[in-house]
Homo-oligomer: A and B are copies of this chain.
């Protein structure tokens, strides 16, 4: 089985977040579809060389969001129903912060819109 996830050690965010973000991205892009089995915690921890607890924390967060379901003794699977979305307020806040950073970095509005379209396209292709 090929390695599903890769994380960037230079990315300063907590490891469990990077793992959760990767999986979330794969689900959003339909690389992982409802009913698909996720790799075991052990498998991912081994692949990435991180602590079991760290991966378990990521799974717990995804379960809390309703994106996956975990059952004792069985592999976690991607949840069937799309979960209740986070409040729109939080989503806009995250988006606004990302856009602020781009503006401060000197990106023009049109360039940003192109970038967004690119990223959305890549999401659906499972691109990285």
Contact = CB atoms under 8 A, between A and B. Distances in A.
A119 to B, nearest CB: 5
B112 A72 contact: no
A12 B71 contact: yes
A105 interface: yes
Interface in A55-87: 64, 67, 69, 71-72, 82-83, 85-86
Interface in A74-127: 82-83, 85-86, 88-106, 109, 112-113, 115-117, 119-120, 123
Chain A interface main SS type: helix
Interface residues on A, range: 35 or more
A8 B93 CA distance: 11
Interface of A: 8, 11-12, 14, 21, 24-25, 27-29, 64, 67, 69, 71-72, 82-83, 85-86, 88-106, 109, 112-113, 115-117, 119-120, 123
